[in-house]
Amino acid sequence: MASIMASTHSRASELPIPDELHSFMPTQQVISGIYAADDYILVFPSKQPYMIRVPFKSDAIKRSEKFGRLDEQVRIPLNSGMAPGDWRGLYADGDMQIVWDANILQLLILRKKDFSPVRVSTPPIDLLKPAPDRGGEPTKTETSRTRSAFHKSFVKISESRFTGMVEIPESWGKDKGRNFLLASRIKGFPLLMMTCAKDDAATCVMTRTCTLNGGFPSKNGYGIGLGIDAERREVLMANSMTNRIDVFHFNSCADVRHVSSLSLPTKMPKISGLNIDDRGRLWVTTGVMDSSFDTNVFYWEKTQWRDSGGLKKHP
């Protein structure tokens, strides 16, 4: 039950260069993650104990109105009281929002109305199993072998082990609870599944290793950020080796098949984070600002990245 299978040939489409109404510069230049809501954006500076709230008015016709002025960006402290976090993203749970950490997968629960902290949770990561395949659930031997290999790879990386997280739509499966996909830098385990309680999305456990069929050009590649196209059962994940966004069709955790790629504009720096918001906009952050782009946060409308003809609907 391997986690990475051989790469397959697939089409690629280059994204258009974003104009100034589709890009902005936060007060911190090194950004590792992003979350976009209807009227605000949260960006996560690399290895900092805070996130930055940026106003967002999608229908504005000037950048200063769309993303506000620099002095309107607000720092929101993130302190779990545990190990220093490398905060990368956020997911919602009713009146709460849960920020996740890239190092040991701390989950910091915040009140949605004011981002005040409630509690912190750290999901167990040593109970995962291979995904079930046509033969059924893995054997005890297969599970033991997988857990041993995961632990050995996990301890070899001292920081930034997890690079993306996104919730799997309930319509995609019949599993109990709420399920999340995690992109990781842990060698041999590029995609994992975490399951959380339906009535408490911060009570979670790492449950599965998922199998990627194609997408990475070498064993040293890993995914950065995750986005979901619920209608097409597709998962988007940036590729650390190619600076492309790989698109995978999600049949099941045991069969996540590479179907296409999106290339960033040629001069754009390396991707550091990725998110798809509820309106289908594709958001990308880059780790550094390039002189060609006086910004490091970009987005494309759904019609630009998905419906423009570059990505065909999966049969």
What is the rounded distance in angstroms from the CA atom of residue 98 to the CA atom of residue 225? 16
Percent of the chain exceeding pLDDT 90 equals: 63
Alpha helices in 39-139 (DSSP H): 63-66
What is the rounded distance in angstroms from the CA atom of residue 61 to the CA atom of residue 160? 37
Strands 223-229 and 234-239: antiparallel
Average pLDDT, the chain: 87
The residues with which 71 forms a beta bridge, in sequence order, are none
Task: Supply 231's token pair.
Answer: 């209608």
Q: Model confidence at 175, in pLDDT bands (50, 70, 90)?
A: low
| Span 260-283, average pLDDT | 90
Res. 9: pLDDT tops 50: no
Residue 64 is predicted with a pLDDT of 92
Task: Supply 243's token pair.
Answer: 């600076």
Res. 219: pLDDT tops 80: no
What is the rounded distance in angstroms from the CA atom of residue 177 to the CA atom of residue 189? 22
Task: Supply 135's token pair.
Answer: 């033969």
Q: What is the pLDDT of residues 38-69, one digit of tens each?
A: 999 999 998 899 999 999 999 999 999 999 99
- Identify which of 281, 308, 224 has the alpha carbon closest to the alpha carbon of residue 22: 281
What does the domain layout of the chain look like in residue ranges? 4-30+123-305
Residue 309 is predicted with a pLDDT of 47
Residue positions counted in the chain:
315
pTM for the predicted model, two decimal places: 0.90
Q: Model confidence at 293, in pLDDT bands (50, 70, 90)?
A: low
Q: How many CB atoms lie within 10 A of CB 229?
A: 21
What is the rounded distance in angstroms from the CA atom of residue 84 to the CA atom of residue 86? 7
Helix (H) or strand (E) run with residue 164 in it: strand 162-167
Query: How open is the CA angle 130-134-140, to the nearest 5 degrees?
Result: 40
